[in-house]
Structure 1
Amino acid sequence: MMRRVWPLVVAAVSLGIDAYVLAGVLPRVADSLATTVGAIGLGVTAFTAAYALAGTTLAKRATRGSTKRALLLSLGLFNVANLITAVSPGLTVFLGSRVLAGGGAGVLTAVATAAAAGMVRQEHRGRAMALVTFGLSTGTVAGVPVGMLIGDQIGWRWTMGLVVAVGAVSMAALVFRGGEIPAIPDEPGSGASVIVKSPQVLIGVLLAFVFGVTSLGLYTYLLPMAADRGLGSWGFALIWAWGIGGVLGSMLIGRQIDRIGSRKLLPVLAVALLASFAAVAFLPQPVAWLAAALVWGATGWASVPTLQDVLTRTRPKATTTIVAFQMAAMYLGSAAGSALGTALLGGGTPAGDLPMWAFGVQVVAVVLAVIVGARSERAATARDVCPVR
């Protein structure tokens, strides 16, 4: 049964590459299109904004009818948009293609996660959702460096070709190996009403935003942080430690979600992430930073499916909507965290002090994680006492 989820994992790999790979080749893209790095950087912003908007407004509508059709259409849009990016003759076409790619990615992430959860038995739900996150983390960790290497050697357009190739493979896998994908249940009401009417989900979406600010936002400045603390020569090792941690965390957390329970794991992951920031902030030893980066990557990525399961296990019919808002909040939080880091550095804050700022924000995440876990416990108890017929 779990093998049927793998075409969705491959699709998530292409999403993981595309979300971050352009950041590593911005100067080359700018030179090729005869514009500035700042102008090309707007492509990252356009992708994130379209991801958030499309995921939260279109994902639920896309699942009406055939789930496989929704997956193929969103993945097809994503692939075509990246192909347009690869052959863009100028800035206007480039930015437009990033909007389309972000829209396709936003819908695809939510639908793929909900489809994965619906393709397995209830006791394997956490593992299936974690596999999609495993694809995202693997694409980021392995695909981004490979894409940057391709960009350095033969050009950034071939980097985007890598994203298109992986996306094409996932489309082929869905068509020929995906089989029938069950329809995704649809909870009545608009997407926004599903979020607003549930304090637990609303707090969970806020928590996803804070996780994005701290974990992904701070990661943007890992290299300058290390350099400021005299660990510049360890930068490459730290990036790989964070990445390996992310892959391991997303790969291993699924079984623990199903065995221990996501509502118990969520506060633990938030505290572990807090501890990793404390280690980076206060310990100068390279070994401590390597261990902290490993834990940081593992807990940051593991928190994604854990939070998804906490928010959707008692409301499976709202999975598509909840995941769309959660992932949109996470990516927007990442952008906000990066912007906050830029503002702090511009105001004279040393890069080595950024972990302290992240530590302070992560305290808020710990509090929110405890609240979400407690509310989930009450929701599960209420469901068991008064089961929905």
Structure 2
Amino acid sequence: MIRRVWPLVAAAVSLGIDAYVLAGVLPQIADSMTTTTAMIGFGVTAFTAAYAVAGPLLSGRLARGGTARALLVALGLFNLGNLVTTLAPGVEVFLASRVVAGVGAGVLTAVATATAAAMVADHERGRAMSLVTFGLSTGTVAGVPVGMLIGQSAGWRWTMALVVLIGVVSMVALALRAKALPRLDAGSGGSAFAVLRSGRTGVGVVAAFLLGVASLGLYTYLLPMAEDRGLGGLGFALVWAWGIGGVTGSALIGRPLDRFGPRPLLVALPALLALSFAVAWLTSSPAAWLVAAAVWGAAGWASVPTLQQALTADRPAQAMPVIAFQMAAMYLGSAVGAALGGALLTAGIRAADLAAWALVPAVLALALTGWIATRAAVRRAPDPAQAEACSVV
């Protein structure tokens, strides 16, 4: 399967890196443009806002012209935005370039995930979508350390040049395979918001937002939380435990998702996420924190394809707009979670207690995904002949 979808996975890696790479080099960018770190930080906000708006509104419209065209246009915008970021002479151009990159990223995520699912048999959809999430999580995990490493040795512009390079390689690979890409059902031209009329989809989008607030939002404060617990020396190991957990979870969730369906995982994964927060809140044990960080990363990232499968398995024709709203909600949740964490710290809340506050959206998400589990399509075992004919390459 990986041979069929690897260009989509590579594109997701570049997107994942881009979403977080600036976090490690914000001070360098601010110094080079003679502005404040806070002003450069608005670039992250601009990217996230453009991502959230563009995915639901533009993915279907672009896909009506063909899957390859939609992917190449999205990657083209993404690469163009990052190239302009690399060369930006001042903060105004920098911020505008982040909007362009965010538009491309929002469309790319929705179309790439729906395309991966459409390229395989029904009993392989979970693995196909989880591979795209694997690319996103790998890029996210690598983004900050890679950005800092290259930024410190060669400058932040070379950090962004790496993102452009990966994006261009993905674009060339997709162009070469354009004829093999399936045509997606892009609807008849109605409003992209029509999919939200389904109660299950609406609840799923809210759940994705809450999971983004809890998992990705809290990750912003992992190091301050550890330091407040007297575990500052463990910070590097905790970041990698979270990252390795996320990559492993997204890589391995596909097979159980295809075999058992999303129902049990919709309950188990948010529950594990909440449990990891409880451990971080209630203990200062280094071993417990390392395990909790790994479980946190694994459960948070594995929940992404699980929710996608639950919302689209019985209606693949609506996969693209549903995934667009889900991913937009997740990244918005990440931004809101980071902002709420900062507000709580400003209000005098201890960093160590942020895990307790994150339990609130995590438990709410668990309640919603549990409700979705009662309404998700029942997993049916594939026909043996079909499974043999469509076996993984």
TM-score when normalising by structure 2: 0.94
Aligned 8 A contact 2:82 2:101 in 1 = yes
Q: C-alpha displacement at 1:177, in angstroms? A: 4.5
1:13 alignment partner in structure 2:
13
- Please show how residues 47-126 of structure 1 align to structure 2 within 5 Å: 47-126=47-126
Task: Say if 2:134 is the partner of 1:138.
Answer: no
Partner of 2:231: 231
Q: Are 1:362 and 2:358 matched, yes or no?
A: no
Find the counterpart in structure 2 of residue 27 from structure 1.
27
Within 5 Å, which residues of 2 pair with 1:212-361? 212-361=212-361
- Tell me the amino acid that sits aligned with residue 193 of structure 1: A
Letter in 2 for 1:291: V
Give the C-alpha shift of residue 2 in structure 1.
Answer: 4.2
1:253–1:302 Cα contact (<8 Å) kept: yes
Cα contact 1:59–1:324 (8 A) shared by 2: yes
- Does the aligned pair in 1 maintain the 2:249–2:298 contact within 8 Å? yes
**2:191 pairs with 1:190:** yes
Q: Is the 8 A contact 2:51 2:107 kept in 1?
A: yes
Cα shift readout 1:248-307 (whole Å, capped 9, x = no counterpart): 000000111101101221111011111111111111100000000000000000000100
Does the CA contact (< 8 Å) of 1:65 and 1:183 recur in 2?
A: no
Letter in structure 1 aligned against 2:122? Q
Residue identity in the other structure for 2:86: A
Q: CA–CA distance in 1 between the matches of 2:144 and 2:184?
A: 31
Q: Is the 8 A contact 1:7 1:178 kept in 2?
A: no
Instruction: Supply the distance in 2 between the matched residues of 1:179 and 1:10 (Cα, whole angstroms).
Output: 19
| Cα deviation, residue 142, structure 1 | 2.4
SS of the counterpart of 1:375?
A: coil
Q: Tell me how far apart the structure 2 counterparts of residues 23 and 190 of structure 1 sit (CA, whole Å).
A: 35
Partner amino acid, structure 1, of 2:23? A
The answer to whether the 8 Å contact 2:141/2:243 transfers is yes
CA–CA distance in 2 between the matches of 1:12 and 1:207? 22
Tell me the equivalent position of 2:386. Answer: none
The code of the aligned residue for 1:22 comes to L
Which amino acid is the alignment partner of residue 56 of structure 1?
P
Counterpart position of 2:150: 150
In the TM superposition, residue 178 of structure 1 has moved relative to its aligned partner by: 5.5
**Which amino acid in structure 2 is aligned with residue 191 of structure 1?**
A
Partner of 2:330, secondary structure, is helix
1:187 shift after superposition = 3.8
Match of 1:160 in 2: 160
The separation in 1 between residues aligned to 2:65 and 2:155, in whole angstroms, is 41
Displacement after TM superposition at 1:144 (Å): 3.2
CA RMSD in angstroms, aligned pairs only: 1.3
Q: Give the distance between the partners of 2:139 and 2:281, measured in 1 at CA.
A: 28
User: How far apart are residue 23 of structure 1 and its match?
Assistant: 1.1
Shift in Å, 1:171 = 1.0
Q: What are structure 1's unaligned runs of at least 5 residues?
A: 382-389
Tell me the equivalent position of 1:211: 211
TM-score (ref. length: structure 1)? 0.95
**What is the identity, as a one-letter code, of the residue corresponding to 1:273?**
L
Structure 1 residues 303-326: Cα deviation after superposition (integer angstroms, max 9, x where no partner): 001001100011111111001100
**CA deviations over 1:6-45 (Å, ceiling 9, x no partner):** 1000000000000001011100000001111111011000
Give the distance between the partners of 1:2 and 1:158, measured in 2 at CA. Answer: 29
CA contact (8 A) 1:4 1:179 kept: no
Give the CA deviation at 1:143.
3.9
Matched to 2:340, the amino acid is L
Letter in 1 for 2:165: A
Which AA in structure 2 matches 1:230? G
Structure 1 Cα separation of the partners of residues 377 and 181 of structure 2: 30
Residue 345 of structure 1 aligns to which amino acid in structure 2?
L
2:15 counterpart letter in structure 1: L
> d(CA) in 2 for partners of 1:32 and 1:142?
24
Preserved contact between residue 310 and residue 377 of structure 2 (Cα < 8 Å): no
Letter in 2 for 1:194: V
Counterpart code for 2:194:
S
After superposition, give the CA deviation of every residue in 1:216-248 in whole Å (9 maximum; x if it has no partner).
000000000000000000000000000000000
| Residues in 1 aligned to 2:306 and 2:284: alpha-carbon distance in whole angstroms | 31
CA distance in 2, matches of 1:215, 1:26: 22
What residue identity is the alignment partner of 2:202?
A: L
Taking the aligned partners of 1:295 and 1:194, their CA distance within structure 2 comes to 32
Q: Say whether the 8 Å CA contact 1:46–1:98 is kept in structure 2.
A: yes
SS of aligned partner of 2:375: helix
Superposition misfits of 4+ residues, deviation over 4 angstroms = none
Do the aligned residues in 2 keep the contact of 1:68 with 1:180 (CA within 8 Å)? no
Using the alignment, how far apart are the partners of 1:283 and 1:350 within structure 2? 15
Q: What is the distance in 2 between the residues matched to 1:353 and 1:40?
A: 28
Q: Is the 8 A contact 1:2 1:120 kept in 2?
A: no
**In structure 1, how many angstroms separate the alpha carbons of the residues matched to 2:127 and 2:111?**
16
| Cα distance, 1:360 vs structure 2 | 2.3
